[in-house]
Structure 1
Amino acid sequence: MTTASPDAAGTPPRSATARRSVSTPRRGSALEVAEYFAPQRTGTDALPAPEPLLKNLTIGVLEALAGVREVDQLARWFGEDAFRALITRANLSARARSARGVAPARPVHHILSTRHSSPADGVIEGVVIVAGPARTRAVALRLEGWDGRWRATSLALL
């Protein structure tokens, strides 16, 4: 039987299994890592009140469609599908203005009412009624809590 002698510092040598556990850190699977860094759902209690965001997004969307706001300024608050739909609609509005020879003008809108409900935790479905100079419109938004903030995942402008 051989016994290991202490090293020069006087510490006894570690066993082979102890050396392996120290030298090889435990790694999660690729799926665990992807889930850890993926966007995380956030509950309603951990999020701010949705009314100001519903109103501000509505005004921002109407300004983007009028051509006085860049759509990219709203990207932070939209999910991918809703943002692509907004880009498409803004491009169509710009083409229609160009065909008619109308310059972009800042619209004057008044928010008449805001209604929202929560079908699930971390989800708000809201409608903002907006009066403009020519007509009254309804903007429907679905907000979902992702990474500690609201994001609009659906947008409908009526």
Structure 2
Amino acid sequence: MPALGATARAVAARLDDEELFGPQPAATRELPDPGPLLENLARCVIEIIAGARDLEQIARWVDDSVYKSLLKRVVLSAQARNATGRAPRRPMFTLGAPVLCEPRDGVVEAVIVVHGRGRTRAVAIRLEGLDRRWRATAIHVL
């Protein structure tokens, strides 16, 4: 049976490995301008919910929880379209300018107003800098 000290060292070594090899936070100065990504994500999310774009196209820019949340929304939207017999179509809309705030270094929160024909919506997005690139950790369509 290994000594208690050896077990503690093994656990500490595993934690060090996770800290060294897991996703690393990045400072804002190390990251590209978030504006284009915010606009593209907002556009893509609206098109994904409308059924005109595949969710896989933004998978590399969102974390797992955002992907799962959007997947649920896509399924519900598809069921609603099927129930009414509507086919998916590309929505016509314009995007407002992103309104940004930076709650801490390496994190950007933004809202983008989406103006459609019969409806105006807001897309709220939180980006976090990980491994020197932005990654969406929250996306909400209001």
Identify whether the pair has TM-score above 0.5, normalized to the shorter chain: yes
Counterpart position of 2:128: 144
**Distance between the aligned counterparts of 1:34 and 1:141, measured in 2?**
27
Are 1:68 and 2:52 an aligned pair?
Answer: yes
1:99 aligned residue (79, 83, 86) = 83
Where do 5+ consecutive residues of structure 2 fail to align?
A: 1-11
Amino acid at match of 2:96: L
**Distance between the aligned counterparts of 1:50 and 1:34, measured in 2?**
27
Where do 5+ consecutive residues of structure 1 fail to align?
A: 1-27
**Distance between the aligned counterparts of 2:41 and 2:126, measured in 1?**
11
The sequence identity of aligned pairs, in percent, is 47
Q: Secondary structure at the match of 1:113?
A: coil
Question: By percentage of residues, which structure has more helix?
Answer: 2
Deviation readout 1:54-110 (Å, 9 max, x if unpaired): 100000001100111111111111111111111110110011001111001011110
Amino acid at match of 1:66: A
Q: Which has the higher contact order (CA 8 A, sep 6+)?
A: 2
TM-score in terms of structure 1 length: 0.80
Larger radius of gyration: 1
CA contact (8 A) 1:109 1:132 kept: yes
**Distance between the aligned counterparts of 1:51 and 1:99, measured in 2?**
37
Counterpart position of 1:30: 14
Deviation at 1:113, TM superposition (A): 2.5
**Distance between the aligned counterparts of 1:79 and 1:73, measured in 2?**
13
2:105 aligned residue (100, 103, 121) = 121
What is the total number of aligned residue pairs between the two structures?
131
Counterpart position of 1:84: 68
RMSD of aligned residue pairs (Cα, Å):
1.1
Q: Secondary structure at the match of 2:118?
A: coil
Counterpart position of 1:12: none
TM-score in terms of structure 2 length: 0.88
